[in-house]
Structure 1
Amino acid sequence: MNWQPNRQRDTSLQQQIVQWITALVERGDWVAGTKLPTQRQLAMQFGVNRSTVQQALEELKAIGLLESKVGSGVYVTHNSWHALIQQTQPNWQTYIETSIHKPNYHTIQLINEYEQREDVIRLGTGELAPSLLPTEAIEASLRELSFQPKALGYSSPQGNDHLRAAICDYVRKRGIVAEPQQVCIVSGALQALQLIAVGLLEQGSIVFQEPTSYLNSVHPFQSVGMQMVSIHRDEQLAQTLSQRKRKKQAVFYAIPTLHNPTGQVWTSLEKKQLYEACQASRIPIIEDDVYHELLFEATSPPIKAMDSSGQVLYIGSVSKTLSPGLRIGWLIGPTTVIERLADIKMQTDYGSSAISQEIVLHWLQSGKYESHLASLRQHLQDRAHFTEQILQGKFKDIATWSKPKGGFYIWLKFHEPLIDKEFFMKLLQQQVLINPGYIYDPQDHHHIRLSYAYATYDELQEGLQILHKCVVEALLQ
């Protein structure tokens, strides 16, 4: 106990005392419950003013290492080890709370968690059932492919040259004219949105979207400081865009074909009106077209097909059609934009999987992809019909919906605003998982996004029976 602080050190006398007492507790010399000498005794020992000792002790009390007992003195606390751990480890919660990326809504976190469980009926999942994935055909493709050594290395910044050329040939059937240098391979549509968010837009830029939007359930733009603005596509659209944009940068995010979550399909006129309205205010359009291959009947060409000025950034993907696990999508736009985004992509992941790119290239060039799509569309149409039959039998008096035109979803609207967090949790307790409307529009308590693409036929029947029962109970309350 002969230690004294060193007045020649840069560290203050108070901090040296704090460090010395902390070290005694860490070594176990002063165990939990140890009574400290009085402030006067410590001041004499250390050769400092009593006020210096008092300030040091107050700091140690503040972090939970010491505590005062009225009329008795100062003691080492019984949870001193916990306090020490907190002092020696980074405060990760502070790091988490102050990071730029916004957390998912709690409901979405629960959806992501429960989608991994085998005992849950997934009535909202936005992916294909395992039985609809061409597993055996992909395995056969791996046996057919002959990989060059380069294919096992890192991909080029914009992606496999041959795959980009094949994608240009493929999208030409939809009226999109593009060259390989205008294509960037991405790890799904979400990465394309993330690249656009950090690579093209300044903080505070406006992202226009429809009131009910997929973007409200993910945060690629919100997390980098973009302003999300929901607007209706009405007769005043051009004027509204101009007034809201003013001098800020802006983009318009659109899903014109099989909109997620509503399933709507725009007409040619609606696409043309949006294109011209955005063109008038020089607002780029992000056209998310990942569902178009799942239409049950042919529809009009995409907005990108009418793009003569490089205004549209077009996103496609095989995640909804072939395999989400391959993580292959594409972004088509002006060469300067694509080069910029490819450079950012290389800084973040060094390129999409070269092996996955080879598989997708093989499927596009061999004709397997389009053959698979024809079969997949029929399976989805059968599932949609099966689900609609159940809805007609049980839900026609309590909800409305539109006949699905393709894709995965029915946007089911209940007559009463029943769909809140409590309702979501009640279903989850009965092992039924839904995607409630409020994750796409915070004010929406009427809808759920009902998916017929993932659950088995038996699960669809059971899950919808449980959903109906919960709705009826809610209506009676």
Structure 2
Amino acid sequence: MWKPDRSSKTPMYLQIADYVERSISLGEYPPGSFLPSERRLAERIGVNRSTVVQAYEELRAKGIVESSVGSGTMVSREVWGIRPGLSPDWRHYVQGGTFARSLPYLRRIREVLQERPSIINMASGELSADLFPNEQIIQVMKEVPFEAHLGYDDPQGYYPLRETLSGFMRRELGIHTTESSILITSGSQQSLFLILQCLLAPGDAVAVEDPSYCGSLAMFQSAGIRTFPLPVREDGIDPRDVETLFKEHRIRMVFLNPNYQNPTGTTLHPDKRRPLLNLAAELGIPIVEDDPFSLTDFEGNPPPSLKSIDEHGTVLYIGSLSKIAASGLRIGWLIAPSTVVQRLADARQQIDFGLSIIPQWTANAFMRSGNFGEHLSFLQQALAHKQDLLIRSLERELGDEVRFTAARGGLSLWCGLRRPVDDLKLLEEAVKRGVVYTPGAVYGSVPGHIRLSFARPPASRIEEGIFGLAQALRFLQV
């Protein structure tokens, strides 16, 4: 994000004018398009509004922009005498295409996090810096000789990593698989993307949890997939709802996050698991099990995954290191029948010729070391402590204004508000008080819920963040 150089001898308003002029010349703002409002640009680059007003006046004096009361500041249609038809309208292209944009709430949250990196971040589903195993990974990289080939690798992924994952899945999660049934992906989202693009077609119907992970919902929309909700109750979804959706809409897949579901934190009840698997086998529809959180179980004893008790080959299993070790490595995996893996590997090779070997080698070396098990134990204890801090802060600051159920794993807490408020107004008021979170509406759920990440903010700032949220909520309820 560009910001003016405060140490420069050039006045800031002239720096801003030059920046905007360059953006116009590069086609970011084609003739006839509107510039950001003075207030919004001032907030974005960290200056007073009056400074942006001066910059826009400079551009008006050059004939580059025009302003009208109530409409805003627009790029001149005859800027520098060039007819607008000669310059591509990049905004028209940006607004086109088949890939859906993120929801406005999510774009606003990203914008806030870019502009204010010091804000208390209870929105991101990511570990805080002190929970990443940086030192352990550096140690492994120093001690283990790098012996991998630096050219294009196997489309399914680095074979030694698939070997390591096969053994790890069996020991830790009771999932029996082989190297040929594992595809290494760039995180869980790529696994989901490949499934949607290769195994489904536009117009197909699928069942998804409600509420459900917002990143998945956008991907379904982009792929033209029709989604039908499976309500998430205190003990997870009801298998009978799957049967109903199959009869009414002929759903072709079911997408579930059974352990510490995102965003609600609920776990599918053990008594529902085998009936669900038997039903799916009977109907002939696959279940995609997204399992990013089992290994965060605070006691190190997660519930059995659906894949571990799957006797019919019904479950496609997605896992990742992003939520348990290092999101920046971009290492995920998909466990599926080898014919499915080969189909998805072929598609992925067409996209990017496979993942970089370096993060795959790093992940393999780390997972094979004793450091990985030690890190998981440390992480589980740290997350349990952070959730306790969050719960105590909520009880102290908001009392019965919020309702929630503590989870046994995961990275966040799903909270219902006793009295409804405007989602956008509450978010903006919270931002003013130094904290950002995720409104429940982005997960496809009814209004009146928020998701608070306890994994991302430092433990020392959780209490401060909840104090700011409580102040914002009381301000709107006066």
Query: Normalized against structure 1, the TM-score is what?
Result: 0.79
- Cα deviation digits, residues 295-315 of structure 1 (max 9, x gap): 113233111112233211100
After TM superposition, list the pairs within 5 Å mapping 1:341-420 onto structure 2: 341-420=344-423
CA RMSD of superposed structures (Å): 1.8
After TM superposition, list the pairs within 5 Å mapping 1:65-464 onto structure 2: 79-81=77-79, 84=82, 86-116=84-114, 117-148=116-147, 150=149, 152-173=150-171, 174-215=173-214, 218-232=217-231, 233-234=237-238, 236-246=240-250, 250-297=252-299, 298-441=301-444, 444-464=446-466
In structure 2, what is the Cα distance between the partners aligned to 1:86 and 1:145?
59
In structure 2, what is the Cα distance between the partners aligned to 1:359 and 1:235?
40
Q: 1:398 to 1:157 in 2, by over 3 A?
A: same
Q: CA deviation at 1:284?
A: 0.8
Q: 1:238 to 1:209 in 2, by over 3 A?
A: closer
- Cα deviation digits, residues 242-270 of structure 1 (max 9, x gap): 21333xx6211100011001111122222
Structure 2: gaps spanning 5 or more residues: 1-75, 232-236
Give, as a single letter, the amino acid of the residue that structure 2 aligns with 1:474: L
After TM superposition, list the pairs within 5 Å mapping 1:56-67 onto structure 2: none
Secondary structure at the counterpart of residue 98 of structure 1: coil
- Cα deviation digits, residues 179-220 of structure 1 (max 9, x gap): 111000001001111111111101111121111000466522
Secondary structure at the counterpart of residue 218 of structure 2: coil
The higher radius of gyration belongs to 1
User: Could you tell me whether the CA contact under 8 Å between 1:419 and 1:447 is conserved in 2?
Assistant: no
In structure 2, what is the Cα distance between the partners aligned to 1:375 and 1:235?
36
User: Could you tell me whether the CA contact under 8 Å between 2:187 and 2:330 is conserved in 1?
Assistant: yes
What fraction of aligned residue pairs are identical, expressed as a percent? 32
User: Could you tell me whether the CA contact under 8 Å between 1:237 and 1:277 is conserved in 2?
Assistant: no
Secondary structure at the counterpart of residue 210 of structure 1: strand
Task: Tell me if 1:467 matches 2:466.
Answer: no
Give, as a single letter, the amino acid of the residue that structure 2 aligns with 1:466: G
1:34 maps to: none
2:69 maps to: none
User: Could you tell me whether the CA contact under 8 Å between 1:159 and 1:184 is conserved in 2?
Assistant: yes
Structure 1: gaps spanning 5 or more residues: 1-77
Q: CA deviation at 1:294?
A: 0.3
In structure 2, what is the Cα distance between the partners aligned to 1:371 and 1:240?
45
- Cα deviation digits, residues 388-419 of structure 1 (max 9, x gap): 11112122221111122112111111101125
Give, as a single letter, the amino acid of the residue that structure 1 aligns with 2:453: S
In structure 1, what is the Cα distance between the partners aligned to 2:460 and 2:374?
27
In structure 2, what is the Cα distance between the partners aligned to 1:292 and 1:252?
19
Select between 100-109 and 388-397 the one with higher mean Cα deviation. Answer: 388-397
User: Could you tell me whether the CA contact under 8 Å between 1:409 and 1:452 is conserved in 2?
Assistant: yes
Q: CA deviation at 1:375?
A: 0.8
Q: 1:256 to 1:84 in 2, by over 3 A?
A: same
Give, as a single letter, the amino acid of the residue that structure 2 aligns with 1:391: L
Give, as a single letter, the amino acid of the residue that structure 1 aligns with 2:464: E
Select between 324-333 and 131-140 the one with higher mean Cα deviation. Answer: 131-140
1:45 maps to: none
- Cα deviation digits, residues 414-471 of structure 1 (max 9, x gap): 1011251121122123331110101002x52211111111112332111110111111
Q: CA deviation at 1:114?
A: 2.5
Secondary structure at the counterpart of residue 208 of structure 1: strand
In structure 2, what is the Cα distance between the partners aligned to 1:206 and 1:285?
13
